[in-house]
Amino acid sequence: MKLITAVVKPHRLDEIKEALQAFGVHGLTVTEASGYGRQRGHTEVYRGAEYTVDLVPKIRIEVLAEDDDAEQLIDVVVKAARTGKIGDGKVWAVPVDTAVRVRTGERGPDAL
Amino acid sequence: MAPAITLAAETELSAANTGFMLICSALVMLMTPALAFFYGGMVRVKSTLNMLMMSFISLGIVTVLWVLYGFSMAFGTDSGSLVGWNSDWVGLSDIGLTELWDGYTIPVFVFLVFQLMFAVLTPALISGALADRVKFTAWALFIALWVTVVYFPVAHWVWGAGGWAFELGVIDFAGGTAVHINAGAAALGVILVIGKRIGFKKDPMRPHSLPLVMLGAGLLWFGWFGFNAGSWLGNDDGVGALMFVNTQVATGAAVLGWLAYEKIRHGAFTTLGAASGAVSGLVAITPAGGAVSPLGAIAVGLIAGVVCAMAVGLKYRFGYDDSLDVVGVHMVGGILGSLLVGFFASGKGQSDVQGLFYGGGLDQFWKQCAGVFGVLAYSLVVSAVLAFLLDKTIGMRVPEDVEVSGIDQAEHAETAYDFSGAGGGAARTTATPAASVAGSAPSKKVDA
């Protein structure tokens, strides 16, 4: 199994969710995140005091996938997340030893 | 205004003026919680509640002191042009319900509750400069001492019969000197003693909620009609209505002035700029609105908006931490409004005194200067001394770790917001807040 993590622009969430549903993914976890890459931040002004705000709001989407589906699933996420502008984010995958469905106790790919 | 003993017989109670003044008093009361939101939105999340409480506590402390001796000190029989006293007014014990305020058409009780709201608001204004770092007990004590030795006497100077500024002919319609310069100078005096917030000029200190700031500014603007128009204590000759109009006009112009400066200088029209511009205009028109024409009010507002927008940057240059710009907005705005009377007084408002631009020469300007700098110097010095004494005895500032982690939890045993579904890991215990703040074990007492 693989854990696929995507840190992307918040407004792409709906497209990614729909694309993943169409692909057959039944569940995912979303958290609000903040960070920066090459995009860096922006400047804000309060009563003349300028602040450089480095951390930009992002969302982090986490999905578990079977090994065979992982590469294709990454492509689905990347396609749905892309706007072509700087700050689109990153997607990566790491191997997962095991997963358990809490309600039934099923293990491994059955738990997905 | 003479002492109530020589009660003039020529005025009769006006139900209209009495009703108007009671509504105005309630409007001015609203300004203190409005100010709490205006300031509360500007601080970081971790000290929101403390900022709100610093204003709110004034409603308690100053109300009680005003009844006990404040009204007597501010408006009682003059001694030495410096302070008043009237033992019949101590505890408001010997004031007849239908007794009229001398020379006016409203009862003494109406006048004193209107003035009470001013006394409540003024120390609350100071709190904005002290954000994030002052012990709540020290602040409460400071308020009690400050109104006693600064506000009550200064109100007497400016509005009390026999007070030196009053007798000199200084024009202060609704409190440009007694309220705004007074509070701004006090704020400067205190921060010079207690010092900067940890991380001033280094850490980001962005306002945590600009919608709260806008809400507060809007409510201040609303309440300010009572503050300004009510200060004529009736509207038999139309001056109260002129003040009402000028309050709106100057404030609108000040919003435009601040925003224009900001757009040119920093490239954006900010909500904080609009809110701050409104307050700077309200402050500046407070002493001037009864003496200037509506066009004069536009000039006063525009000047105040632009100059205050420039003045809030001075703290970074000179390195004093006027956290929420009490000095930059209230002291500077109050000085501007008070001095501009010397130029823009039209002679057709509260009195026939004319300023420089209406052919009156500089006479009134010099009187205004005396009022402004007399109040400024007294308030600055005495407030600094008070802060110094409190700092040396009970300590003005919270410990460093409390300031860094947030004053709300340490001083008030609360947090402003809980947006997490997990409730921040809080669980119900029967421990007293003091015990849990000190980190001791929960008490074993059982709820009854």
Chain position carrying tokens 């059955």: A110
Q: Which class is domain B7-393?
A: mainly alpha
E-strand ranges in B195-292 read none
* Contact between residue B89 and residue B71 where contact means Cβ atoms under 8 Å apart: yes
Return contacts of B92-101, CB within 8 angstroms, 24+ apart: B92/B67, B95/B4, B98/B13, B99/B4, B99/B7, B100/B7, B100/B8, B100/B11, B100/B12, B100/B13, B101/B1, B101/B4, B101/B233
Q: Residue A35: helix, strand or coil by DSSP? A: strand
The answer to whether residue A32 neighbours chain B at the CB level (below 8 Å) is no
Give me the phi and psi of B175, to 5 degrees please: 125, 30
pLDDT band at residue A108 under the 50/70/90 scheme: confident
Measured between CA atoms, how close is B196 to chain A, in angstroms? Answer: 16
| One-letter amino acid of A104 | T
The answer to whether residue B206 neighbours chain A at the CB level (below 8 Å) is yes
Owning domain of residue A103: 2-111
Q: Which parts of chain B sit beneath pLDDT 50?
A: 1-8, 435-436, 438-448
Instruction: Provide the angle, in degrees to the nearest 10, between the axes of the packed helices B182-194 and B108-126.
Output: 30
Burial of B18 (0-12, 13-18, 19+ CB in 10 A): middle
Q: What are the chain A neighbours of B316 within 8 Å (beta carbons)?
A: 49
The per-residue pLDDT for A111 is 87
Q: Is the dihedral of CA B37, B372, B108, B238 positive or negative?
A: negative
Portion of chain A with pLDDT greater than 70, in percent: 100
pLDDT at A16 exceeding the cut of 70: yes
Per-residue pLDDT tens over the stretch B392-401 = 999 999 999 9
pLDDT at A64 exceeding the cut of 70: yes
Model-level pTM?
0.88
> What are the sequence ranges of the domains in chain B?
7-393
The answer to whether residue B263 neighbours chain A at the CB level (below 8 Å) is no
Under an 8 A CB cutoff, do B207 and A48 touch? Answer: no
Q: What are the chain B neighbours of A47 within 8 Å (beta carbons)?
A: 270, 272-273, 276, 309, 312-313, 325
Alpha helix segments (H runs only) across A25-87: 67-81
**Which one of A48, A51, A53 has the shortest CB-CB distance to B312?**
A48
Distance CA A65, CA A25 (A): 8
Under an 8 A CB cutoff, do A48 and B206 touch? Answer: no
ipTM of the complex: 0.78
Q: What are the chain A neighbours of B309 within 8 Å (beta carbons)?
A: 47-48
Total beta-carbon pairs less than 8 A apart between chain A and chain B: 30
Instruction: Name the CA radius of gyration of chain B, rounded.
Output: 22
* More confident site: B240 or A37: B240
Distances (CA, A) of B177 to B166, B192, B361, B370, B406: 12, 21, 22, 11, 34
CATH number at residue A12: 3.30.70.120
What are the percentages of helix, strand and coil residues in chain A, rounded to 5? 30, 40, 30
Under an 8 A CB cutoff, do A50 and B265 touch? Answer: no
Q: How many structural domains does chain A have?
A: 1
The answer to whether residue B266 neighbours chain A at the CB level (below 8 Å) is yes
Give the nearest chain B residue to A53 (CA atoms).
B204
